[in-house]
Amino acid sequence: MDPPSMTGTLQSTSTYSDSSKTSSRSGQSTEKERDMDLTKDNAASPIDLECHIQSERITKIMDDAIYKCKLCLSLPELVQEYRTLYNLLTPPHMDDLTFIFEQYDNPLFSASLLNMAGDLSLKNRLNPELGHLLYIMNSYPDLRPIVEEVIDKQREIQANDKTKLTPGFEFLMELEHFRDLMVRQMEATAAEELSAKISTKKLEASNESLIAHIKEYSTTLKEETERFEQTMVMKEEMITKLEHELVILSHDATVKLKKKITEICFNISHLSNLRLDSERQMVLATRSHTVKNELLKEEEVESREAYEQLLRSHLIEEKNQRARRFKVETQLLSWLQKYDLEMSDKQVELDEFTQKYEDEVEKCQELEKKLAEQDIEYIPLMAEREAEYNQEMTEKMNKFLIDHAARVIQHAWREVLTNRAEKKKLKGKAKKGKKKA
């Protein structure tokens, strides 16, 4: 098959414009990767460079597969644009496409083009003529904008109405998603993955340390609380005891004072007749009782002041204990809130990463199953197609050799006949010259 000519293409009159409004994500990522400058001094090591080259190769293979899938999905609408294909394709390829279209117009192949929407079996979908059609169209880069425009329109339609989502378009979306995941995974270096694991281990170690500290502080707070409660009980018992002693002393002092006053009054009444003789003794006794009363009052004042001072000291100590307890409880609450905030964020992040990883693993397994199922039928069919193609090329080569040999023989025979005719002419002229002489 002759290679397609890329020059001299005519302007298409199709409804699809040659310049697509939107370009595929795979094309953008390929252009970004090509713009990377790997010749600078800070370029990666040879191993990293080789990894980058392999990543570009894998990405290019995935982009080609995605474009072929898009071409398959847009083929039912693309083959209807006969004028566009006629302006872009070479005449030999256009003749081949016309021949394939005529085959699919037959009743036997009338439903083959519907296979692109996923309505019939895999056997008709991988029809050799249809594969040849895809091979021809894939060899023309000028069709890429039209294909992208068709896919964008289908994407808008299926985005507005989920019921119109076909299996083929769903496979294309999954393939594009797989390509993005693969690029993202290849861009992540081993150092980044190792750093993420190390940070996770550090967070786990920090979490265990914080839990141990919280348990330790909780135990300490509980012990201090118990000691504080015991101290408060002892203080209350001491205060109650002192109050009881103060009441007893006050009662004793009052009783003694009344008794002394009664005794003085009794002595005065009984010694009224001896007033002149006992006046001096009475004055002395009165003074002594007054002194004793003042001493008892001073003792009462001192006892009350000692009680009030002891009470104030106990209240101050109780206040300090309460402030210390409030401080410890506040610090513990702040640590608990900080721990809850940090661990809630990290737990959400860990759950998201775990869920994403499980989803990606599940999708990869599903894709591997689908690819394995397709390879079971695809590989034998491709081998059969390759054998038919080789046989066809061999027959064309043999036919070309036979035709070439026939043309060579005919050319040689014509030269022989021409030489014979010239010899006859020369002989005839020689005879005429002899006759004239």
Q: Give the mean pLDDT per block of 10 residues along the chain (437 residues).
A: 34 35 42 44 64 82 84 78 77 78 54 42 49 78 82 79 74 83 75 79 88 89 88 87 86 83 73 63 77 85 88 89 90 89 86 91 90 85 89 91 91 90 84 73
Write down the pLDDT at residue 8.
30
Three-class secondary structure assignment of 146-157: HHHHHHHHHHHH
Distance, CA of 143 to CA of 425 (rounded, Å): 63
8 sits in the region (left: phi over 0; alpha: psi -120 to 50; else beta) called left
Closest of 289, 251, 297, 294 to residue 267, by C-alpha: 289
Max alpha carbon distance in the chain (Å)? 228
Burial call 369-398: b when 16+ CB within 10 Å, e when fewer:
eeeeeeeeeeeeeeeebeeeeeeeeeeeee
Query: In angstroms, what CA-CA distances link 395 with 370, 389, 399?
Result: 37, 10, 6
How deeply is 344 buried, as exposed, middle or buried, from its count of CB atoms within 10 A (0-12, 13-18, 19+)? Answer: exposed
Distance, CA of 66 to CA of 183 (rounded, Å): 14
Only one residue has tokens 């006969």, namely: 82
Q: What is the pTM of this model?
A: 0.34
Distance, CA of 25 to CA of 176 (rounded, Å): 9
Contact 139, 4 (CB under 8 A): yes
DSSP H/E element including 358: helix 275-436
Residues 6+ apart with CB under 8 A from 341: none
Contact 20, 148 (CB under 8 A): yes
Distance of alpha carbon 194 from the chain centroid: 17
- Quote the tokens at residue 433: 């010259």
Contact 65, 378 (CB under 8 A): no
Distance of alpha carbon 157 from the chain centroid: 28
Q: Report the amino acid identity of residue 41.
A: D
Q: Is the dihedral of CA 375, 66, 63, 363 positive or negative?
A: negative
DSSP secondary structure letters along 56-84? HHHHHHHHHHHHHHHHHHHHHHHTT-HHH
Backbone angles phi, psi at 51, to 5 degrees: -65, -40
Backbone angles phi, psi at 106, to 5 degrees: -65, 155
Distance, CA of 159 to CA of 157 (rounded, Å): 5
Contact 70, 34 (CB under 8 A): no
Closest of 79, 157, 86, 146 to residue 114, by C-alpha: 79
Cα of first residue to Cα of last residue in the chain, in angstroms, is: 66
Write down the pLDDT at residue 413.
92
Contact 311, 239 (CB under 8 A): yes
Contact 78, 146 (CB under 8 A): yes
What are the structural domain ranges in the chain? 11-35+43-187
Write down the pLDDT at residue 128.
53
The alpha-helical segments, DSSP class H, found in 126-166 are 128-138, 144-160
Contact 158, 169 (CB under 8 A): yes
Distance, CA of 218 to CA of 101 (rounded, Å): 83
Axis crossing angle, helix 46-78 with helix 128-138, rounded to the nearest 10: 120
Which own/partner pairs from 418-424 qualify as long-range (CB within 8 Å, at least 24 positions apart)?
A: none
Backbone angles phi, psi at 112, to 5 degrees: -70, -35
Write down the pLDDT at residue 342.
85
- Quote the tokens at residue 369: 């199953």
Write down the pLDDT at residue 361.
92
